[in-house]
Amino acid sequence: MVTLSTLCLISFHVVLVCLCSLSGAERWCADNPKDTVFRRLGTKTPYRHVQNKDVRNIATVDGCTVDKIWGLFRHGTRNPSKSIIDHMHGTLVELQRDILENGRLCKEQLSKFETWKPQVTPDEAKLLVREGGQELFHLGERFRKRFGSHIPERYDSSEFYFKFTKTERAEYSARNFTRGLFGQDEPIEYPEALRRDPVLRFYKGCEKWRKQVKENPYSYREKDRFGGSKEMRTVIEKLSKRIGTFVSPEDVHAIYQTCAFETAWNERDISPWCTLFDKESISALEYNEDLKYYWIDGYGYELTYRQACSAFRDLFANFDASGERPRFTFYFTHSGTLLKSIAFMNLYKDNEPLTAQSYRYKRKWRVSHIDAFGSNLYFVLYNCSNGTQSVGLYHQERLTHIPGCPENALLCDYDRFKQLYVDRIEQCDLNTMCSEPHVPSLRKDEL
């Protein structure tokens, strides 16, 4: 680590803000850190920040009554990836020492760093934590309260279909949800979990998407540009002053991720690493996350969201079936599935693509709001008194307008809803879509 006392003695080939002469600098005192990080933790935002606590009965809407439900549920709060855990045990332990020796923090903040230590080990990477189980358990409880007697009280395989991906976090999210839904442990029949499930995790089998989008350096161009912006340089400068040593962009990312995970784990506490941020700093880091997921899992490339047709084909097959399929279908999956499905529907789509220059603009695409741990996107098919059927979309347990449907209606006529996607569903062939001859993907602004 480079301490502030030696920073000015080092010659850099780029211009850096000199961080010396801090002997008389004021100490940083975090002002209400819980408020600072609220709904600003990207895809690691805890579900309690976005959940709908209103449990009024919605089994009947505008005179229409529940017939079927089909939904996608992201797993609950988990442990970090191995790479972040390694940073916790390495980089952050070193930064902790720098904070205690050279940091310009208030006494109360310093005391929290004195007692901090990494809480997880690499072999616990990505496992569901207690908070994550509780998120899905209470989500199941609220489902029961909202839909009441319109959902059978006991599990019946002819009525319910639950499925999870082949991951521990998705499996135990499903098991906690069903405990909340039925009020007890039921002997649920789960089908075989698949690593490349064509409905729950369709993108895992799409090599074209992996090569042309996820592993394409161009997909990260806007994020990288923002990483070199004045806003992000200011974040680095502020944290370097507060910590007492120069921190790299990688260090800042590790701090932000640790702040998010440790805050998500426990409702009563907040990570001491969050106290290093002010609202402007954490808002910049949140936007950095938004750029990443916009281009990788959202609207950046058409192929990304086109492949979600596989999930929606399953939705329509369920809703159109006449009695031969369970009425209530619940899939437990991951962030990538939720975001691609959101983009498939044109939800939270901004008028212009998100770029490094868009930071100051008000935006709809905010993953802290739309893709927190435990996020959900479910559809309710209602039978109406006039003999028609309507559909309601619920995102984060809130009735949400479906793009392409009448703005002033709570529900959308089911036939109209189907027409919105009929062409994409008819052309939904993942084998063809994901194995076409290589053609460089172009962004819309290059066409």
Neighbours of 247 (CB within 10 A): 26
Give the helix/strand (H/E) hosting 193.
Answer: none
CA 133, CA 139: separation in Å to the nearest integer? 10
In order, the DSSP letters of 163-191 are EE-SSHHHHHHHHHHHHHHHSS-----PP
Any idea which residue has 């990688």 for tokens?
Answer: 250
Q: Which residues of the chain have pLDDT under 50?
A: 1-24, 439, 442, 444-447
The pLDDT value given to residue 322: 85
Q: Where are the domains of the chain?
A: 33-374
The pLDDT value given to residue 10: 33
**437 Ramachandran zone, left/alpha/beta (phi>0; psi -120 to 50):** beta
Alpha-helical runs (H) found in 123-248: 130-147, 168-182, 207-209, 221-227, 230-243
Residues 139/167, Cβ–Cβ less than 8 Å = no
CA 168, CA 172: separation in Å to the nearest integer? 6
At 282-305, the pLDDT tens digits run 999 999 999 999 999 999 999 999
CATH of segment(s) 33-374: 3.40.50.1240
The pLDDT value given to residue 151: 96
Residue 148 CB-half CA count within 13 A = 8
Please state the separation of Cα 165 from the chain's center in Å: 17
